[in-house]
Amino acid sequence: MPPRFSRLAARQLARPRGLLGGKAMDTLDRSNAGRIATCVEAAAPRKDATTADVGFGGGVGLRTLLDAGAGHVHGIELSSAARGRARKRFRAEIADGRLAVHEGTLQSMPLPDGTLDALISTNTVYFVPDLAPVATELARVLAPGGRAVLGIADSGRMREIGMPLHGFTLRPVDEIVEALTADGALRVVRRDQLDDIVDFTVLVLEPVT
């Protein structure tokens, strides 16, 4: 891909926007639906659980959490294009009070302490240069016994397959684990690697109580 297009594509992955944003989100939904379903399975929300998808992009994770029977889903996004798309696509679920769409990030979620039984966030950590505030925020919003499931593509594999990575912060999964558990507020309870084109890791964290 010529460098100019590669930069444009990377910008859409980091924060979908403008005319190309809809296409970028369609592609994200198509490519990541299976991986996101695996993350929702790992989060194992019980019926009526309060859940969130942080950085939901095209919104397939919101659909998957709703279909899994979660009682309430918080969709948290930095991108106004993604929030607008979710508000249109999930009008009925928002009206029913099953879904709320908020502006926010992994570092700052507009939720009270101890709100969430389960949270998923897939393909988002590459856009966070410093993970320490993410660890603090995840530990804050999770209820005791709650689970955060992060879905992370392998940085080496993303390079090998030629993904546009301009502006990404790429780290090995071990480094991400180290950063998220360093202050002792979170611990890893499960780590699986999918046998797919990006060696996708499903990392399950719980608050240390």
Ligand X SMILES: C[S@@+](CC[C@H](N)C(=O)[O-])C[C@H]1O[C@@H](n2cnc3c(N)ncnc32)[C@H](O)[C@@H]1O
Question: Under rule CB under 6 A, how many of the chain's residues touch ligand X?
Answer: 25
The yes or no reply on residue 28 touching ligand X (CB under 6 A) is yes
Considering the rule CB under 6 A, would residue 9 count as an interface residue with ligand X?
no
Q: Which alpha helices (H) appear in 59-115, and where do they start and end?
A: 60-67, 80-89, 91-95
Q: How far is CA 168 from the centre of its chain?
A: 15
Shortest Å, Cβ 35 to ligand X: 7
Out of 9, 40, 43, 56, name the contact with ligand X by CB under 6 A.
56
Using rule CB under 6 A, residue 15 touches ligand X: yes
In the complex, least distance from residue 77 CB atom to ligand X, rounded to whole angstroms: 6
User: Min. distance of Cβ 104 from ligand X in angstroms?
Assistant: 7
Which residue number, 96 or 159, has a Cβ lying nearer to ligand X?
159
Separation CA 30–CA 197 (nearest Å): 14
User: Interface with ligand X includes 122 (CB under 6 A)?
Assistant: yes
Site for ligand X in 35-54 (CB under 6 A): 36, 54
Whether 169 and 205 have beta carbons less than 8 Å apart is answered as: no
| 13 interacts with ligand X by CB under 6 A | yes
Contact with ligand X (CB under 6 A): which of 42, 50, 51, 55? 55
Distance CA 78, CA 89 (A): 18
Query: How is residue 54 written in tokens?
Result: 């942080």
Residue 106 makes contact with ligand X by CB under 6 A: yes
Query: Is residue 127 a contact point for ligand X (CB under 6 A)?
Result: yes
Q: From CA 1, how far away is CA 80, in angstroms rounded? A: 27
Range 179-182 contact pairs with CB under 8 angstroms and sequence separation of 24 or more: 179/131, 179/132, 179/135, 180/131, 180/134, 180/135, 180/138, 180/150, 180/205, 181/135, 181/205, 182/132, 182/135
Specify the residue, 38 or 124, whose C-beta has the smaller distance to ligand X: 124
Residues in the site for ligand X, rule: CB under 6 A? Answer: 13-16, 28, 32, 36, 54-58, 61, 77-79, 82, 105-107, 122-124, 127-128
